[in-house]
Amino acid sequence: MVIHPKIRGFICTNAHPVGCAENVRQQIEYIKSQPKIDGPKRVLVIGASTGYGLASRISAAYGSGAKTLGVCFEKEPTERKTGTAGWYNTAAFHAQAKKDGLYYHSINGDAFSDEIKADTIQRIKDDLGQVDLVVYSLASPKRKDPVTGNVYSSTLKPIGDTYTTKTYDTDKDKVHDITLEPATEDDIAQTIKVMGGEDWERWIEQLHNAGVLADGCQTTAYTYIGKKLTWPIYGHATIGRAKEDLDRAATALRTSYQDINLKAYVSSLKALVTQASSAIPVMPLYISLIYGVMKEEGTHEGCIEQIYRLFTEGLYHDNPQLDEAHRLRMDGFETNEQTQAKIEALWDQVTQENFHELADYEGYHQEFLRLFGFGIEGVDYDADVEPQVAW
Ligand code: NAD
72 CB under 6 A from ligand 1?
yes
Residue 110 Cα to ligand 1 middle (Å)? 13
10 CB under 6 A from ligand 1?
no
Pocket test for ligand 1, best of 222, 246, 278, 306 (most atoms within 8 A of CB): 222
Pocket test for ligand 1, best of 73, 89, 110, 230 (most atoms within 8 A of CB): 73
Please report which confidence band the pLDDT of residue 111 belongs to, taking 50, 70 and 90 as the band edges.
very high
Pocket test for ligand 1, best of 277, 278, 330 (most atoms within 8 A of CB): 277
Mean pLDDT across 297-323: 97
Extract long-range pairs of 312-318: CB within 8 Å, 24+ residues apart: 312/35, 312/37, 314/265, 314/267, 315/39, 315/133, 315/218, 315/220, 315/265, 315/267, 316/37, 316/38, 316/39, 316/40, 316/64
Q: Each residue of 49-101: pLDDT tens digit?
A: 999 999 999 999 999 999 999 999 999 999 999 999 999 999 999 999 999 99
Q: What is the pTM of this model?
A: 0.97
Give the integer Cα–Cα distance in Å for 76 and 388.
Answer: 8
111 CB under 6 A from ligand 1?
yes
Residue 10 Cα to ligand 1 middle (Å)? 16
Atom of ligand 1 nearest to the CA of 272: 40
Residue type (1 letter), 369: L
Cα angle, residue 13 at apex, residues 8 and 19 outer, rounded to 5°: 120
CA-nearest of 244, 252, 247 to 205 is 252
Pairing of strands 151-153, 104-108: unpaired
pLDDT of residue 34: 98
pLDDT of residue 279: 82
Give the integer Cα–Cα distance in Å for 162 and 184.
Answer: 11
Residue 238 Cα to ligand 1 middle (Å)? 16
Burial label, 171 (beta-carbon count in 10 A; 0-12, 13-18, 19+): exposed
137 CB under 6 A from ligand 1?
yes
Residues that are catalytic: 234
Q: Each residue of 327-348: pLDDT tens digit?
A: 999 999 999 999 999 999 999 9
Mean pLDDT across 356-378: 93
pLDDT of residue 170: 80
pLDDT of residue 10: 82
Query: What are the extents of the domains in the chain?
Result: 7-371
Residue 31 Cα to ligand 1 middle (Å)? 21
The overall longest dimension of the chain from CA atoms, in Å, is 60
- CATH architecture for residues 7-371: 3-Layer(aba) Sandwich (3.40)
| Contact predicate 364/291, CB 8 Å | yes
271 CB under 6 A from ligand 1?
yes
49 CB under 6 A from ligand 1?
yes
Residue 345 Cα to ligand 1 middle (Å)? 30
User: Any residues with CB less than 8 A from the CB of 292 and at least 6 apart, and which?
Assistant: 346, 358, 359, 360, 363
pLDDT at 278 over 90: no
Residue 140 Cα to ligand 1 middle (Å)? 7
Q: Each residue of 253-273: pLDDT tens digit?
A: 999 999 999 999 999 999 999
